[in-house]
Amino acid sequence: MTVARSPAKVIVTGEHFVVHGQPALAAAVNLYSTVVVESGSPGIIEISSSELGIDARFQTEALEKNPEGSERSILEPLLLVVERTLERSGSKGLGLRLQVKSQIPVGVGLGSSASTAVSTAAAVAHFLGLQLDRRQICELASVQEQFIHKKPSGIDALITTYGGVVLFKIGLSPVHLQPTDEVRIIIGNTGAARSTGDLVSKVSHRVQLGDRDLTRISDAAGQLTLQAVNAYKKKDFLQLGRLMNENHELLRQIGVSTPQLDRLVEVARDAGALGAKLTGAGGGGCMIALSRPEHDKRISKAIDAAGGRSYIVAMDRLGVKID
Ligand code: PMV
């Protein structure tokens, strides 16, 4: 039996624009997905999760029990990761039982699908005796991101694989920054599910049409991320917070915020956050607030009182890990 776990993530600055070549800053946080792998009946892959409400058996690439809806959308991409890892080790046709556990809310911008895929790739590879480095695990997990999100930047799989804090830009080596305990991140979940793929396509469509406003906003967001990295390195968290506020405004301008996200952002700022913004694809999902440790509970209460579900999180330093 092998157990692997990997963290959730938040995008601190630069989501959406990162898909179009701009840099983005992301942090891994201490909510985890865990995958347990054991051997199963030959040719059968069983995947179950009581928290996610999924339980299905797949037989040599054909669904034996055909799950529908969200169950199907969670399982099919995961199966792809399992099959790719089996192929890689020359063990196609081997039976496996996977148990997925997760503390990460699904479909709300916290990298739940990427984290589950990374834990799956790592657990299956380790169970099969495959020696993979982080880059290879990330590559295997990305199969599912491509399946779900159509055109992902790759930032989710990368940050959940490596953990810590990362400056990411498509085509360049990621820059790893030192995680910190000097500030807290408070996540506020609106509870409104949405599709990252659809939101990314909506923005991409405007880019393809040559929308000048979008190009201008995208360039501004790229500059903003570089300033955010400098502020983070200098531990100028006041400035980092200001830049997060500005980033939220840019995301509002491209139409991916919602009244409920704006509301949670506003109450977090009023409660003493250094900065607050939506995180991930928007359209619902989550926002984040940056806070001094002494204000975290006040901000979390304000988010809850405004109808959100808050989580005070710490940065994860380890990324994917075999337990
Ligand atoms: O799936 P989410 O909501 O965490 O969004 C990921 C971030 C995007 O920039 C919107 C998409 C991407 O692939 O980078």
pLDDT digits (tens, 9 = 90+) for 9-67: 999 999 999 999 999 999 999 999 999 999 999 888 999 987 777 788 887 555 444 45
pLDDT at residue 54, as a whole number: 76
Atom 6 of ligand 1, residue of closest alpha carbon:
280
What's the gap in Å between 146 CA and the centre of ligand 1?
A: 12
Q: Of 150, 191, 157, 187, which Cα lies nearest the Cα of 174?
A: 157
152 Cβ closer than 6 Å to some ligand 1 atom: yes
| Weakest-pLDDT range from 59-63, 185-189, 221-225, 278-282 | 59-63
CA angle 108, 111, 112 (to 5 degrees): 80
For residue 215, give both structure tokens: 């190009």
For residue 78, give both structure tokens: 């995961």
For residue 188, give both structure tokens: 């506020």
Can you say whether residue 280 is alpha, beta or left, with left for phi > 0 and alpha for psi between -120 and 50 degrees? left
Identity at 161, one-letter amino acid code: T
- Please report, rounded to a whole number, the percentage of residues in the chain having pLDDT higher than 70: 94
Interatomic CA distance for residues 164 and 285, integer angstroms: 22
CB 161 within 8 A of CB 320: yes
Residue 278, beta-bridge partner list: 287
Catalytic residues: 156
SS3 call for 187: strand
CB 286 within 8 A of CB 110: yes
280 Cβ closer than 6 Å to some ligand 1 atom: yes
* 94 or 144, greater pLDDT: 94
SS3 call for 154: coil
291 Cβ closer than 6 Å to some ligand 1 atom: no
End-to-end C-alpha distance for the chain, whole angstroms = 11
pLDDT at residue 69, as a whole number: 55
| Weakest-pLDDT range from 99-113, 242-256, 301-315 | 99-113
Max distance between CA atoms of the chain, in angstroms, equals 58
pLDDT at 148 over 80: no
CB 238 within 8 A of CB 274: yes
Q: What is the pLDDT of residues 156-215, one digit of tens each?
A: 999 999 999 999 999 999 999 999 999 999 999 999 988 888 999 999 999 889 999 999
Q: What is the pLDDT of residues 105-141, one digit of tens each?
A: 998 999 998 999 999 999 999 999 999 999 999 999 9
279 Cβ closer than 6 Å to some ligand 1 atom: no
CB 241 within 8 A of CB 224: no
For residue 124, give both structure tokens: 């299956």
> What is residue 95's DSSP assignment?
-
Interatomic CA distance for residues 139 and 111, integer angstroms: 16
Mean pLDDT throughout 216-229?
Answer: 98
pLDDT at 101 over 60: yes
pLDDT at residue 71, as a whole number: 58
Interatomic CA distance for residues 59 and 41, integer angstroms: 10
pLDDT at residue 64, as a whole number: 47
Residue 27, H or E segment: strand 24-39
